[in-house]
Amino acid sequence: MPTVTNRINDFTIKIATVNGTGSASANTLLMKSIFRSGIPVMGKNYFPSNIQGLPTWYEIRVSREGHLARSGAIDLMVAMNAETYSRDVKEVSSGGYLVYDSTWPRPVLLGRSDITVLGAPLARMCNEAFNGVRTRILMKNICYAGILAALLDLDLERIRELLAETYAKKPQLVESNMKAIGLGYDYARQNFSCPLPLKIEKMDRTGGHIMIDGNTAAALGCLFAGATVAAWYPITPSTSLMDAFKGFCDRNRIDPRTGAKRFAFIQAEDELAAIGMVIGASWNGCRSFTATSGPGISLMNEFLGLAYYAEVPAVIFDIQRVGPSTGMPTRTQQCDVMACAYASHGDTRHICLYPANPEECFYMAGQAFDLAERLQTPVMVLSDLDVGMNDWMCRELKWDDAYRPDRGKVLDKAQIEKLEKFHRFLDKDGDGIPYRTLPGVHPKGAYFARGSGHSQYGAYTEDSAEYQIVLDRLVKKWATAKKLVPRAVIDATGGSDIGIVSLGSCDSAIREAMAILKARGVGVNYMRVRSFPFSEDVERFLAAHRLLFVVEQNRDAQFRALLTLETAVEKSKLRSLLHYSGLSISSSFIVEGILAEGEVRPETMPGPGALPPRAASGTV
């Protein structure tokens, strides 16, 4: 039987359970204790659109090199759900391991001779040790964490420390959880040869880092950006962003003297109302936002066009999920690229930001408000389920106390007083951005916001010339936006005329793929676009490369289409690598996709040429 050697701090565990059985706490515990051991780690949750009783998986990748995407291979499977045994066993890489609950014999798991199957009677042990049906089920899940602790050589003290933090208010739970951990741990030590070659050894690579999901980070960004009105309608996977915002506000936005809440959190009747509320609040001088997913974006279209044309700021987080229609609500995609860029009828274009990880969700939230208010237009932050709901290791978030919100060109009372007459849509500064006023400030500042035709002076119009002046100025404003949006991140260390172009959550898989390709003698450059409109460096990168792989997570190559529409790039240079299974994109998918392209075979590349047997960090 082949065995895996030297996989210290470099492997992937997958845990198959049933949702609603408390496995989430066991999984977080495992992941966090690896993180606290100083080793880069990633946690991804594949859950069903259901509350209880359907299969769910959690993937933990341990990577001493810091690769935080899916590798595409599973080295250790914890099969806790009999219903998915047959597919779970198939997924384990040759030479890998499978742990299961051997309370009941499972011949289906024993068909593979190239993996090691480890059975532990989890249910039996927990039934003997604990009372109550619910407790037994929960403890069975904690118990597998104990098995893994022994197999991977995790520090039990670290586990206790994490439990103590989690249950600071219920110390008796620390003891019962530790008891379950101990059951699994001792059983494994007595019956298996612990630790496995896949194991944890303390490192020092997580200092200055945190483990956080993108929705929590985006909510924090909104808190720090000074957002005061949040309106939404529940939809997976955006709900946790709003929940987190409310939680942060409840703890950080209460007037200590009066107990008043310095925020309004409104659960709207639908997404039409949610975006309407955001527009109303922004028009009236608050920083306001909503979070939604594809179906909500579809509903918001008419209002987005209004905000574009009436020039009202708004911030919208689109946590993308699998479409079309209801699609697969708990799976990830980047399938709203087009729907957001040109949302609503008529000539409209919207600023989009594409965060790649929680750290960017945090900073881009702040940028989104600054851009929306500076440019008086909606800004959409296109995150996705993978970034939004999974735990990512990222650099500790920092806040600059010198930051002051850019509220844009809002005239105050004294400024209005000095005006002969206020004209809402006049381009006084030549940058396409007019001045605005807020209600209740000065009667001379009053104007009529409308989505119907208007002149630059703010009056209703059906006159072609007057209408066109405003429409053309909006194009000028778009050109100004191009200079203000975040630039692309470019890595030209591949030293090649082949490039990868991508956006958002493909990033970590691409960076790992580049390392694997480089080890195989294939150098590629990489540009990660972070905004629409495309900053000027995008055009330059596209022009400078002979062949470009556009990596994105949707079927129809929406991002590639946007590039061809909005830049001068030759279509024939762009090859699509499209990942749209609903699972997070893996590095192996990208490596295989690039190598499949005849023009980039290592033999045709300068440099080493021959394929090394296996990439240093990987599992291709």
Partner 1 sequence: MTFIAKPKVVHPSLPRNALGLIRRDYEGALSTLCAGCGHDSITAAIVEACWRQSLEPQNVVKLSGIGCSSKTTAYFVSGGHGFNSVHGRMPSIATGANAANRRLTYIGVSGDGDTLSIGLGQFCHAIRRNLDMLYIIENNGVYGLTKGQFSASADVGTKAKKGETNFQPPIDPVLLAMTLGASFVARSFSGDKQQLVPLIEAGLRHRGFALLDVLSPCVTFNDHEGSTKSYAYTREHYEPAVQADFVPPEREITAEYGPGEALAVTMHDGSRIMLRKLDAAYDPTDRGAAQARVQERLKSGEFLTGLLYVDPDGGVEGGRQEFHQVNGTPEEPLNSLPYDTLSPGSNGLAKILARYR
Instruction: Show contacts with partner 1 in window 296-325 (CB under 8 A).
Output: 302-303, 306, 310
Residue from 268, 299, 419, 490 touching partner 1 (CB under 8 A): that is: 268
60 scored as a contact of partner 1 (CB under 8 A): no
31 or 78: whose CB is closer to partner 1? Answer: 31
Residue from 64, 124, 199, 261 touching partner 1 (CB under 8 A): that is: 261
Q: Is residue 322 within 8 Å of residue 333, measured between CB atoms?
A: yes
Helix (H, G, I), strand (E, B) or coil at 543: helix
Residue from 3, 94, 193, 284 touching partner 1 (CB under 8 A): that is: 284
Instruction: Classify residue 83 by its DSSP letter.
Output: G
CA distances from 578 to 70, 176, 553, 620 (A): 16, 47, 6, 18
452 scored as a contact of partner 1 (CB under 8 A): yes
Residue from 253, 409, 482, 555 touching partner 1 (CB under 8 A): that is: 253
Residue from 52, 269, 418, 610 touching partner 1 (CB under 8 A): that is: 269
Binders of partner 1 among residues 184 to 223 (CB under 8 A) are 210-212, 216, 220, 223
Cα separation, 315 vs 282, in Å, equals: 9
CA distances from 588 to 159, 506, 619 (A): 32, 12, 7
Binders of partner 1 among residues 384 to 403 (CB under 8 A) are 396-401, 403
233 scored as a contact of partner 1 (CB under 8 A): no
207 or 613: whose CB is closer to partner 1? Answer: 207
Residue with tokens 């499972």: 106
Q: Is residue 591 within 8 Å of residue 617, measured between CB atoms?
A: no
- Kindly indicate which of the ranges 6-14, 129-137, 285-293, 464-472 contains the residues binding partner 1, using the contact rule CB under 8 A: 285-293
Please report how the helices 464-484 and 358-375 are oriented relative to each other, as an axis angle in degrees rounded to 10.
150
CA dihedral 83, 87, 92, 97 (to 10 degrees): 30
Binders of partner 1 among residues 453 to 482 (CB under 8 A) are 460
Q: How far is the CB of 439 from partner 1 (least distance, A)?
A: 4
- Kindly indicate which of the ranges 192-200, 272-280, 330-338, 579-587 contains the residues binding partner 1, using the contact rule CB under 8 A: 272-280
Nearest 5°: the CA angle 455, 458, 462 is 35
Contacts of 126 by beta carbon, 8 Å cutoff, 6+ apart: 136, 139, 140, 143, 180, 183
Q: Is residue 424 within 8 Å of residue 473, measured between CB atoms?
A: no
Binders of partner 1 among residues 149 to 188 (CB under 8 A) are 165
In the chain, the amino acid numbered 535 is S
85 scored as a contact of partner 1 (CB under 8 A): no
| Binding mask of the shown chain, residues 421 to 450, with x at each position contacting partner 1 by CB under 8 A | ----------------xxxxxxxxxxxxxx
Print the SS3 string covering 285-310: CCCEEEEECHHHHHHHHHHHHHHHHH
300 or 574: whose CB is closer to partner 1? Answer: 300
421 or 571: whose CB is closer to partner 1? Answer: 421
Cα separation, 469 vs 453, in Å, equals: 11
Binders of partner 1 among residues 403 to 422 (CB under 8 A) are 403-405, 420
Q: Which helix (DSSP H) or strand (DSSP E) does residue 27 occupy?
A: helix 23-36
Q: How far is the CB of 284 from partner 1 (least distance, A)?
A: 4
- Kindly indicate which of the ranges 76-84, 89-97, 189-197, 255-263 contains the residues binding partner 1, using the contact rule CB under 8 A: 255-263
283 scored as a contact of partner 1 (CB under 8 A): yes
Report residue 358 as tokens: 């929680």
22 or 451: whose CB is closer to partner 1? Answer: 451
204 or 269: whose CB is closer to partner 1? Answer: 269
Report residue 178 as tokens: 């530790």
Residue from 96, 285, 295, 296 touching partner 1 (CB under 8 A): that is: 285
Helix (H, G, I), strand (E, B) or coil at 225: helix
194 or 438: whose CB is closer to partner 1? Answer: 438
Q: How far is the CB of 45 from partner 1 (least distance, A)?
A: 17
Q: How far is the CB of 416 from partner 1 (least distance, A)?
A: 10
Count interface residues toward partner 1 (CB under 8 A). 76
End-to-end CA distance of the chain: 20
581 burial class (0-12, 13-18, 19+ CB within 10 angstroms)? Answer: middle
